[in-house]
């Protein structure tokens, strides 16, 4: 199986740990991912909110490049976008180009100006979808060398991956990550907040609103005895992880919960090294489990 890979801006910056661990587990599974050459901003948040056409044009450029690269290099027509925001914008653009002729005609013009064409053949995939549905949990389970027994995990899907476009899981009660966690030997906790807002960009613009949403999530996960929250989006991960000190100060309460990428947890179960998985890049590392992991990993 070959995929094209669209990192997006986060993977290159705040979400480096996500990219590192994602590439590491893909290597471990002998899956090929070819980075899209000359990719640009996906068109998310600020663009999409202010000028949809520009956002569509940016996303469509990536899709057009992907279509061409996929054809010429034989990397196929599926592009993996690990960031939920990228995933959403690329998916939305694909659908709007297909369903709305007026959007299509404007974007075709824009692409034309850049000497590009897009025929709508690219499929946008989230790595969680690829892992659960293409590779399959059976294969994942076989590859596990460290069953994460006793680890309680709150699986957090956030909003953008499942809504409004229901692509590979339920829009309000997704379960793919929970099933994945089970396959790794850990216990997913039943967590009704798994698709609620992480605070998004509100943490930057209206911090009191953003932090309140953020705090609700962490508090309830801890209340349900989760050892960590698992995320599938760099923004969610950043929001949940980086404001814990601030929340503790403002609400005058103790709050602590490691926030990992689901790819890091897969890597742990695969027995990959902490460095390979970007564990050192975490502000709230799951120390308790890392120690164990390291000790056991030595025997592999």
Shortest Cβ distance from residue 100 to other proteins (Å)? 18
List the one residue from 141, 187, 220, 276 that touches other proteins (CB under 8 A).
220
Cα 15 versus chain centre, distance: 9
Shortest Cβ distance from residue 194 to other proteins (Å)? 10
Shortest Cβ distance from residue 154 to other proteins (Å)? 12
Other C-beta atoms closer than 10 Å to the C-beta of 78 total 18
Instruction: Specify the DSSP class assigned to residue 136.
Output: I
Q: Which range of residues in 26-34, 123-131, 172-180, 233-241 is near other proteins by CB under 8 A?
A: 172-180
DSSP strands (E only) in the chain: 2-5, 32-35, 78-80, 123-125, 152-155, 187-188, 228-231, 259-261
- Give whichever of 202 and 279 is closer to other proteins, judged by the CB atom: 202
Residue 222 binding other proteins, by CB under 8 A:
no
Residue 225 binding other proteins, by CB under 8 A:
no
Kindly list the distances between the CA atom of residue 241 and the CA atoms of 15, 217, 229, 230, in Å, as whole numbers in the listed order: 12, 11, 9, 11
Using CB under 8 A as the binding criterion, the count of chain residues that bind other proteins stands at 10
Q: Which range of residues in 149-157, 190-198, 237-245, 273-281 is near other proteins by CB under 8 A?
A: 190-198
- Give whichever of 170 and 249 is closer to other proteins, judged by the CB atom: 170
Q: Which range of residues in 22-30, 109-117, 144-152, 185-193 is near other proteins by CB under 8 A?
A: 185-193
Can you tell me whether residue 201 is helix, strand or coil?
coil
List the one residue from 193, 211, 260, 266 that touches other proteins (CB under 8 A).
193
Sign (positive or negative) of CA dihedral 109, 114, 115, 118: negative
- Give whichever of 31 and 189 is closer to other proteins, judged by the CB atom: 189
Q: Which range of residues in 94-102, 119-127, 147-155, 187-195 is near other proteins by CB under 8 A?
A: 187-195
Residue 245 binding other proteins, by CB under 8 A:
no
List the one residue from 49, 139, 173, 206 that touches other proteins (CB under 8 A).
173
Cα 172 versus chain centre, distance: 17
Residue 283 binding other proteins, by CB under 8 A:
no
Residue 172 binding other proteins, by CB under 8 A:
yes
- What is d(CA 212, CA 295) in angstroms, rounded to the nearest whole number? 38
- What is d(CA 31, CA 143) in angstroms, rounded to the nearest whole number? 13
List the one residue from 192, 204, 253, 294 that touches other proteins (CB under 8 A).
192
- What is d(CA 191, CA 225) in angstroms, rounded to the nearest whole number? 11
Q: In the chain, what's the furthest Cα-to-Cα distance?
A: 60
Instruction: Please name the residues in contact with 249: beta carbons below 8 A apart, sequence gap of 6 or more.
Output: none
Residue 216 binding other proteins, by CB under 8 A:
yes
List the one residue from 35, 190, 245, 275 that touches other proteins (CB under 8 A).
190
Other C-beta atoms closer than 10 Å to the C-beta of 25 total 26
Give contact residues for other proteins (rule: CB under 8 A). Answer: 170-173, 175, 190, 192-193, 216, 220
């Amino acid at each position: 199986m070959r995929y094209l890979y669209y990192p997006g801006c986060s993977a290159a910056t705040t979400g480096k740990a996500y990219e590192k661990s994602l590439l590491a587990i893909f290597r471990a599974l002998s899956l090929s991912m070819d980075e899209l050459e000359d990719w640009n901003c996906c068109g998310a948040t600020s663009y999409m909110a202010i000028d949809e056409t520009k956002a569509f044009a940016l996303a469509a450029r990536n899709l057009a490049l992907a279509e061409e690269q996929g054809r010429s290099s034989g990397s196929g027509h599926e592009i993996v976008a690990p960031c939920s925001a990228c995933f959403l914008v690329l998916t939305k653009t694909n659908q709007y180009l297909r369903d709305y002729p007026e959007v299509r005609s404007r974007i075709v013009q824009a692409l034309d100006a850049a000497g590009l064409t897009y025929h709508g053949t690219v499929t946008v995939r989230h790595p969680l979808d690829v892992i659960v549905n293409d590779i399959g949990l059976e294969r994942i389970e076989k590859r596990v060398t460290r069953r994460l027994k006793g680890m309680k995990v709150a699986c957090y899907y956030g909003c953008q991956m499942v809504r409004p476009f229901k692509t590979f899981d339920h829009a309000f009660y997704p379960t793919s990550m929970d099933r994945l966690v089970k396959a790794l030997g850990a216990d997913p906790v039943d967590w009704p907040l798994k698709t609620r807002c992480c605070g998004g960009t509100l943490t930057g613009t209206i911090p009191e609103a953003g932090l309140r949403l953020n705090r609700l999530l962490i508090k309830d996960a801890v209340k349900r005895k989760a050892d960590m929250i698992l995320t599938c989006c760099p923004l969610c991960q950043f929001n949940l992880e980086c404001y814990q000190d601030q929340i503790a100060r403002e609400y005058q309460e103790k709050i602590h919960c490691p926030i990992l990428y689901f790819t890091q947890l897969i890597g742990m179960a695969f027995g990959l090294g902490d460095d390979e998985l970007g564990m050192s890049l975490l502000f709230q590392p799951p120390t308790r489990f890392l120690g164990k992991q390291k000790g056991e990993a030595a025997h592999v």
